Amino acid sequence: MRVFLLILFSCISFALHAQLTVSEQNINASVQALAGEGVKISNVTSDCGGGSFGASPHGVFDDPFGITGLDGGLILTTGAARNVLGPNDSPSDGQDNFSQASDPHLNYLVSDQLYDMCKVEFDIEVTHTELSFNYVFGSEEYPEYVGKGYNDAFGFFVSGDFGGGVSGTKNLAVVPGSNYPVSVDNINDYFNYKYYVNNGLGATPYSNPFIQYDGYTRPLVARTNVLPCETYHVKLVIADVGDGILDSGVLIEEGSFQSNSPVKVEVAYDSERLGAAVEGCNDGYFTLVRTNEFELDQTKDYVIELNGSAKEGVDYLEVLEKTITIPAGEMSSDPIPIIAYKDSIDELLDIVRLDVQNICPNFPPLTTGEMPIKDNYEYNVPDEIICWGDGKYLNTEAVDSLDSFLWADSPNLSECLACASPFASPVVTDSFPVVITDRASGCEAFDTVTVFVHKVEAAFDFKGNDEYTVLDVDFKNKTKGATDYEWSFGDGSGSNEKNPIHFYPFVNEKDQDIREYPVTLIATHSKYGCKDTASAVVVLDETLFIPNIITPNGDFINESFTVEGISTGIWDFTVYNRYGDRVFFSSGYLNDWRGLESIAGFEDKSKELSDGTYFYLLENPKKDRQFKGWIEVVR
């Protein structure tokens, strides 16, 4: 049977599936890490005999994913600390360190021989009336040896004066609400099962990849009443009972040894929503509140001290009474007012800190509370952006019942000047001053809301372009205040370009009627949603005509390839025969090709091309408009 007594981690680094880890650490550092609020630990000693190198019976654990319910801390075992790590693939895992042992307090709990004992002792000074800490017990003796008389033993023994004439040694490792020691027999599937975690039988495949022990407790709290400023002796000890075969272990949470303050500081204000005291209007209040209802029948006096960046008697009214009483039968003291003076110094934020003095020497304050002091009530009404011709309600997030509002009179504000959210409709950017008063405290805030008016003015003009055809219209966007553009050219097509060039339908017929196309531009600012529209009518009274036959026979009729509707002297004109050979080229065509072949860019007037069909390519200088087709030469 194993006796389980609290031991500290000094472990080797082992990973439990990247979830629970065990590692070695100096035993003094491990124990010091147990200290939390209101305690000091000193005079650490340990006796954990046996254990091969790298398999120490004590160590430290880290449990970031809460497998055990503890964050991390000290581990003490009757074999090897690393054996707590899963998976639970063995029903009888353990390390026998082959060492007999005895301890007077542990031997009082069990009569059999102790083996593989691990013991840690230290002194602890407390500042308050209770001492507590958190732990988990686990064992490989679960579940086979429940009720079989093999119970490894452990104890958390605290020695000292507990007040009321009671002194001596207490074992804190007991089942909650009883005096029964925590053991395999006393916490299991049948007894006190609400504190028990059944971790399986150690079979393969295993059910738990994280912890090897077949069973362990949920987090338990060891606690006892103590006397403030007294020093107590603590002994954490665990041991095997009857043999040294199966391991047991106890995990003690770091920082959980605490002697918590019997009082806390609460902060309140005339207007809680402001979250701070405000110079000249919103007073703050400190109140001392009991944390332990068991002391309700006692009158308690506490000495306070006011510190922080705010200076008593300079930044706020001096608090004359420095001893604060919580009367018997009351859970809290009378409020301690902090009345901040209104001054002209721009401090932005000051802090008043109330410290409750500790009667134990060399200890920090029992508890503290902080109160910010602001220069002014701060209320920010957001600026707005509207489109020209529109309006918007201001301050729409306001909670009207908590504040009152008074807006400066303006012809661009409607509804009412005492409304939280008046309607603003300026036609140019305008500003609107407002006074905001917190109803609970009377604190006033001043703000000015600017409504920015964004105006989109859509405009454009258009003209022809010599480098294009008479069917091409060059649109010039003269819009102000827009980011996006939507064109409709009146022929069923459109564009989103800022300055498009549009080619209207080409039918290649002479003497066409005048054509009119209604053009619309919708200009929009994408961020603000403002838009405007401009319209105009494009009138086309010229024709683009490209012939497909020429008769260069000297009768002065249809002598040359003449393209109507383009500017002469700037287009490139190329002619190919039916075999794809270039037979003519002109850069800056003058509408004068008469079926002659060109050599090195010049017509050879003595060399006429034979009658027949040829192919042409006509391109403008920018190479973004071209026409292809065939030409028949007939003499």
- Mean pLDDT throughout 592-617? 82
User: For residue 116, what are the CA distances in angstroms to 78, 101, 335, 584?
Assistant: 5, 7, 57, 110
Residue 618, pLDDT above cutoff 50 = yes
337 C-beta neighbours (distance < 10 Å), count: 14
Chain position carrying tokens 């024709």: 543
Residue 21's CB is within 10 A of a number of other CB atoms, namely 20
User: Is the CA virtual torsion 295, 296, 298, 300 positive or negative?
Assistant: positive
Tabulate helix, strand, coil % of the chain (nearest 5).
Answer: 5, 45, 50
Distance CA 339, CA 346 (A): 18
* pLDDT given for residue 411 in this prediction: 93
CB 87 within 8 A of CB 102: no
Between CA 111 and CA 120, with CA 117 as vertex, the angle to 5 degrees is 115
Top-tier CATH class for 263-374: mainly beta
Label the pairing between strands 515-524 and 423-424.
unpaired
Answer whether 558's CB lies under 8 Å from 567's CB.
Answer: no
**460-540 with 549-633: one CATH topology?**
yes
Beta bridge partners, 304, equal 356
For the residues 539-544, what does the mean pLDDT come to?
A: 95
What residue type is assigned to position 542 of the chain?
A: E
Q: Is the pLDDT of residue 446 over 70?
A: yes
Place of tokens 């929503």: 273
Write a three-state SS string for 486-524: EEECCCCCEECCCCCEEECCCCCCCCCCCEEEEEEEEEE
Q: What is the pLDDT of residue 12?
A: 31
Is the per-residue pLDDT at 52 higher than 60?
no
Provide the edge-to-edge strand list for the sheet that holds 612-619: 549-550, 626-633, 612-619, 572-576, 582-587
**What does the pLDDT read at residue 127?**
92
- Average pLDDT of the segment spanning 371-388: 95
Residue 602 is predicted with a pLDDT of 55
C-alpha span between 592 and 584 (Å, rounded): 12
Q: How far is CA 200 from the centre of its chain?
A: 39
Q: Which of 545, 539, 558, 567 is nearest to 635 (CA)?
A: 558
How far is Cα 107 from Cα 171, in angstroms, rounded to an integer?
13
pLDDT (average), residues 202-220: 87
**Which class does domain 460-540 fall in?**
mainly beta
For the stretch 280-305, pLDDT in tens is 999 999 999 999 888 899 999 999 99
Q: Where are the domains of the chain?
A: 2-253, 263-374, 384-448, 460-540, 549-633
Residue 147: its pLDDT value, please? 87
pLDDT averaged over every residue in the chain: 91
What is the band of 426 on the pLDDT scale with cuts at 50, 70, 90? very high
Alpha-carbon gap, residue 300 to 328, rounded angstroms: 8
17 pLDDT higher than 50: no
Q: What is the mean pLDDT of residues 326-341?
A: 96
For residue 29, give both structure tokens: 């550092």
User: DSSP H helical segments within 213-366, as ranges?
Assistant: none
Look at residue 603 and tell me whether its pLDDT is greater than 80: no
Using 50, 70 and 90 to split pLDDT, how confident is the model at 13?
very low
**In 3D, which of 317, 331, 332, 348 has the Cα closest to residue 286?**
332
pLDDT in tens, 32-51: 999 999 999 999 999 987 65
> Stretch 399-417: mean pLDDT, rounded?
90
pLDDT in tens, 250-260: 999 999 999 98
Report whether pLDDT(14) > 60: no
CA distance 122 to 32: 10
pLDDT of 398 > 90? The answer is no
Tell me the mean pLDDT in the region 239-256: 92
What pLDDT sits at residue 202?
86
Determine the CATH number of domain 549-633. 2.60.40
Single-letter code of the amino acid located at 516: E
